[in-house]
Copies of this chain bind each other. A is one copy, B any other.
Amino acid sequence: MKIGVVGAGAVGAYYGSLLARAGSEVTFLLRSDWEAVIRRGYWIQEQGKETFQLYPVRGFRRTEEMGPCDLVLIALKATAREALRELLPPLLQPQTVLVALQNGLGNEEWLSDVFPNHPIIGGIVFGCLTRTAPGRVENAGFGKIELGAYRGAREAFLREVALQFERAGVPCSVVESLEAARWRKLAWNIPFNGISVAGGGCDVEEILRDAELSRLATGLMEEVAAVARSRELPFPEDWTKRMMADTMRMGRYRPSTLVDFLAGRSIEVEAIWGEPLRRAQKLGVPTPRLQALYALLRALDRRSGAVPKLH
């Protein structure tokens, strides 16, 4: 199975490298990191393990050089998605499957509109991944992936992809409802990615330690749970507690949105906060905290003057 990785930030580099190390045929689209990665390969630092190097890396600066793939892992920020219109076609053959390895809502819908003839899978990442330097990625904990069919992906194929991840050392499960899995993940991203930025640059430990920030995080989680339940999506009773407990083990992790914001890059305001808010409003579920956070983050993002950028 030939795998292409588009958007080789922390997520794309990490999973692509693990798959390549396990023997999959992986090619990467590289931009700013091209020189570093071609010269020295990828360096992956897994918490509590030895750093491993992937070398050489099949990295290219244009998707035309990568050629058609069986599977494309899309790990581009939602804010940069328009670039996919030109980036993806050279990678596509009739049965190429697209995997949206992105946060928030609306990514699969967008892909489905623009590439209506390809099976689409949604991938949800539970990992504390940070690109610490060109070609260097650190995983501060977790790393699990959940895969769910969005459209046209056969179950057998999904299981095969999951198996490739598992063989690469990535815990990977196939979920029945992609929508439910997306909301469960949003129950983490909405509070932690949002508060980290709107609170002026807090890591997750600071959020948990501050009684008011942590109360706000819990309140946001409950709003997300209420939306999911109003759609009758499975959302375990103890999910928010489990999320809080998992977060305690992350140490001083900075959510990716904060890393982007501090680097002057635009943040995924619509995918993570705007789209969930609009769906909650359509369903008539009150989400006052989510509205507050969305309004503030939108203003912060606009004022940062950032323009969408590729890695």
Query: A199 in the interface, Cβ–Cβ < 8 Å?
Result: yes
Query: Which residue of the partner chain, among B199, B288, B294, contacts A296 with CB atoms under 8 Å?
Result: B199
Please determine whether B212 and A295 come into contact, CB atoms closer than 8 angstroms.
yes
Main secondary structure of the interface of A (DSSP, over half): helix
Q: Which residues of B contact A201 (CB under 8 A)?
A: 303
Question: In the complex, A215 Cα to B294 Cα: how many Å?
Answer: 11
Please state the number of chain copies in the assembly: 2
Query: A75 in the interface, Cβ–Cβ < 8 Å?
Result: no
Chain B's closest residue to A219 (CB) is: B288
Chain B's closest residue to A304 (CB) is: B200
Query: A98 in the interface, Cβ–Cβ < 8 Å?
Result: no
Q: Which residues of B contact A125 (CB under 8 A)?
A: none
Query: A144 in the interface, Cβ–Cβ < 8 Å?
Result: no
Please determine whether A216 and B304 come into contact, CB atoms closer than 8 angstroms.
no
Query: A298 in the interface, Cβ–Cβ < 8 Å?
Result: yes
Please determine whether B295 and A296 come into contact, CB atoms closer than 8 angstroms.
no
Query: Which residue of the partner chain, among B206, B215, B295, contacts A215 with CB atoms under 8 Å?
Result: B295
Interface core residue of A195, A199, A294 (most chain B CB under 10 Å):
A199
Query: A299 in the interface, Cβ–Cβ < 8 Å?
Result: yes
Chain B's closest residue to A207 (CB) is: B299
Query: A229 in the interface, Cβ–Cβ < 8 Å?
Result: no
Query: A202 in the interface, Cβ–Cβ < 8 Å?
Result: yes
Question: In the complex, A294 Cα to B289 Cα: how many Å?
Answer: 12
- Besides A210-B299, A215-B291, 17 new A-B residue pairs in contact (Cβ under 8 A), listed by A number: A195-B295, A198-B198, A199-B299, A199-B300, A200-B300, A201-B303, A202-B303, A206-B299, A210-B298, A212-B298, A212-B299, A216-B291, A216-B292, A219-B291, A288-B288, A288-B289, A289-B289
